[in-house]
Amino acid sequence: MDEQLTVGRVAGLAGVSIRTLRYYDEVGLVRPSARTAAGHRIYAAADVERLREVLVYRRLGFGLREIAELVDDPDTDAVAHLRRLRGLLLEQRDRAAAMVTAIDDELEARAMGFGTTPEEQLKAVGARLYETIGSAYPATRRTEPRIAARIWEALGDARTVLNVGAGTGSYEPSGREVTAVEPSAVMRAQRCTRAAPCVAASAESLPFEDQSFDAAMAVSTVHHWADPVAGLREMRRVARRVVVFTHDASDAGWRHRFWLIRDYLPEVAGLVAGRPSVDELAGAIGARLEPVLIPWDCADGFFEAYWRRPETYLDERVRRAVSVWTRVGPVAEQRAVARLRDDLSSGRWAERNRELAGLDAAELGLRLLVA
Ligand SMILES: C[S@@+](CC[C@H](N)C(=O)[O-])C[C@H]1O[C@@H](n2cnc3c(N)ncnc32)[C@H](O)[C@@H]1O
């Protein structure tokens, strides 16, 4: 008997993610004709042919709405669409040429010894850190679906999305045209070959025209920017909607609530001193703030992710994928880990944090900014 064309098998054959296929199904673009008794999607030959057409148009740069028109209506004028696409590509080529000119100017300025003021050097700090620690990132950092859902919902119906401080590409939505911006070469090199195209640039100076994108997003990155307010204003300039996922660096309550900082790593307070509060960030771009709770089994291994799984912090791999541990320095790190290990084996941690056992999600100062 032929092997059934399940979503996993079709994803493998077509070279797309399962998430993309599920999304195509949800929006009605490519619906598998059948389901198994257990409810799993099964694709018929005609569904696969339709998917092939969709992917061809996608590769050509068409948006999903246009593709739906093309594949649903046999009378749709494919030639007119191709002409339009050609115009768009010429526009893109002009934009790329402008960027090359800007880069040449920068190279020339550097060769002449400009660009070395303390402010300009500072701008590279966040990215420089990732040149050092970035290769450890993918071990535990990945998309947390419940947080991704909040971010993608906040993007609304945006078709073109800029992802600033994109890293390896977690949280990049499928089914939209994504452009990534990432200053660290180490992080860029770890992006999967099928990830969105990525431009080497920093948030504070985005190489795009005003209002070039429907939306701009930034996830777990603003705290690394030399000038977060300038970066957010740049996002505002190039996009009609801005969605940022970050934590409230200035909130003393957050530091007190999170046992890891309160009882083991008070040095974190020094790292966030002088950084703008989340209210200041929101104020700079007129954003509304939404709290984001961290699920107890959060899939993305960011600093606060393991609030109910304390033994996870004893794992070196987990710590190396989070910049805080490098930034506090090895002495503070080793002291914190040794104390935590002792407290876990003596039962002191469990005693002190008894209330956490019954919580499914924790409010630890993470926020979504939507403007
Ligand atoms: C914690 S990672 C987050 C990556 C990704 N957004 C994610 O959620 O997995 C922070 C990223 O911000 C980038 N970054 C640092 N300074 C930046 C700046 N000034 N502008 C844009 N990105 C920056 C780093 O290179 C790094 O890739």
Per-residue model confidence (pLDDT) at position 121: 41
Beta bridge partners of 370: 243, 288
**C-alpha closest to that of 30 among 40, 44, 12, 9:** 44
Burial of 90 (0-12, 13-18, 19+ CB in 10 A): exposed
Ranges of CATH 3.40.50.150 domains, the chain: 118-370
Contact 281, 249 (CB under 8 A): no
CA 226 to ligand 1: nearest atom:
19
CATH top-level class of 118-370: alpha beta
Q: 141 CA to middle of ligand 1, Å?
A: 12
Per-residue model confidence (pLDDT) at position 279: 94
Q: 7-72: what fold? A: Multidrug-efflux Transporter Regulator; Chain: A; Domain 2 (1.10.1660)
Ranges of CATH 1.10.1660.10 domains, the chain: 7-72
Per-residue model confidence (pLDDT) at position 114: 47
- Does residue 188 have its Cβ closer than 6 Å to ligand 1? no
Per-residue model confidence (pLDDT) at position 118: 44
pTM over 0.85: no
Per-residue model confidence (pLDDT) at position 342: 96
Q: 238 CA to middle of ligand 1, Å?
A: 18
pLDDT by residue for the chain (371 residues), tens only, comes to 457 899 999 999 999 999 999 999 999 999 999 988 888 889 999 999 899 889 988 877 778 888 888 888 777 676 777 777 777 677 667 666 666 665 665 566 566 654 444 444 434 457 778 877 888 888 999 999 999 999 999 999 999 999 999 999 999 999 999 999 999 888 898 888 889 999 999 999 999 999 999 999 999 999 999 999 999 999 999 999 999 999 887 777 777 889 999 999 999 988 888 889 999 999 999 999 999 999 999 999 999 999 999 999 999 999 999 999 998 888 999 999 999 999 999 999 999 999 999 999 999 999 999 99
- Does residue 148 have its Cβ closer than 6 Å to ligand 1? no
Radius of gyration (C-alpha) of the chain in whole angstroms: 23
Contact 195, 163 (CB under 8 A): no
